[in-house]
Amino acid sequence: MVNIKPLDPEFPIEWQLRIDAGPVVLVNLFTVDPADQNALVQAWASDAQWMKKQPGYISTQLHKAIGDGSMYLNYAVWESVADFRAAFANPEFQQHLNHYPSSAVTSPHLFEKIAVPNCCTA
């Protein structure tokens, strides 16, 4: 089963799930023992296929750190925190977490776009 470690211990994912906001981006950093990389990708792919069918899901992408590291970054776009919360709390999804290798550690965090003049739109 995957171990969850807050990306920001001052405001962990459990607290973020209580906020009404949207759209949001889930950024999820994974670390895993090098020998378990294929198992991590397979478990993530299964999760991604399940999440794609959930209300409010928009998109997702998995990235691997360059070089020999065994760190992965996933980002997923959701219409709202409420939609992500419903999918994440679903008992069927929670069972999926058992498919991750025991060395896997995940650090999920939700973000929303902000406007930065002459650079980014909200």
Q: What is the model's pTM?
A: 0.91
Token duo for residue 87: 């999918």
Rounded Cα distance, 109 and 36, in Å:
23
The per-residue pLDDT string of the chain (122 residues; one tens digit each, 9 = 90 and over) reads: 788 999 999 999 999 999 999 999 999 999 999 999 999 999 999 999 999 999 999 999 999 999 999 999 999 999 999 999 999 999 999 998 889 999 999 999 999 999 999 998 87
Produce one character per residue of 36-47: b if its CB has 16 or more CB atoms within 10 Å, e if not: bbebbeebbeeb
CA dihedral 110, 105, 29, 113 (to 10 degrees): 0
Question: Hey, what are 84's tokens?
Answer: 């992500």
Neighbours of 78 (CB within 10 A): 27
